[in-house]
Amino acid sequence: MAETKTDNKMTVVALVENEPGVLNRIASMFRRRAFNIDSLTVGRTHRPHISRMTIRVVAGPEYAMKIATNLQKLVNVIDVRVLDNEPHIERDLALIKVRNDDADSRNTITEICDRYPARIVDVGPEVAIIEMVGTETILEAFIEEVKPTGIVEMIRTGVVSMGRGTRIHDTNFINRRALVEAASKARSGNGRLV
Partner 1 sequence: MRLKGSEIIMECLLKEGVHVMFGYPGGAILPTYDAMAKYDDRLHHVLVRHEQGASHMADGYARATGEVGVCIATSGPGATNLVTGLATAMMDSSPIVAITGQVPIPAIGSDAFQETDVTGVTLPVTKHNYLVTDVRDLAYTIKEAFYIARTGRPGPVLVDVPKDVQIAETEFIYPETDIVLPGYHPPSTAREHEVEGALRLIAEAERPIILAGHGIMMSGAMGEVRELAERAQIPATLTLLGKGALPEEHPLVIGMMGMHGEACSNHAIQEADLLIALGMRFDDRVTGNLKTYAVNARKIHIDIDRSEINKNVKADVGIAGDLKTVLNQLLPKLERKSHPEWIGRIRDWQEDSSERDILNYETPGKLLTAQVINDIWRITGGDAITVTDVGQHQMLEAQYYPHQRPATLLTSGGLGTMGFGFPAAIGAKFGKPDEEIWAIVGDGGFQMTLCEMATAVQENANVNIAIINNNFLGMVRQWQELFFEKRYQATPMVNPDFCKLADAYGIPNRLVTQREQVEDAVEYARSIDGPTLIEFVVEKEEMVYPMVPAGADLHDMKRRPKPGEA
Q: Which one, 91 or 185, has the nearer CB to partner 1?
A: 185
Q: Which one, 23 or 154, has the nearer CB to partner 1?
A: 23
Q: Which one, 25 or 106, has the nearer CB to partner 1?
A: 25
Please report how close the Cβ of residue 73 comes to partner 1 at its closest, in angstroms.
5
List 75, 103, 155, 168, residue binding partner 1 (CB under 8 A): 75
List 1, 89, 141, 152, residue binding partner 1 (CB under 8 A): 1
Please report how close the Cβ of residue 172 comes to partner 1 at its closest, in angstroms.
9
List 89, 123, 141, 179, residue binding partner 1 (CB under 8 A): 179
List 5, 6, 8, 28, residue binding partner 1 (CB under 8 A): 28
Phi, psi of 103 (to 5 degrees): -60, -35
In the complex, the residues that contact partner 1 under the rule CB under 8 A are 1, 16-17, 20-21, 24-25, 28-29, 32, 62, 65-66, 69-70, 72-79, 171, 173, 176-177, 179-180, 183-184, 187-188, 192-194
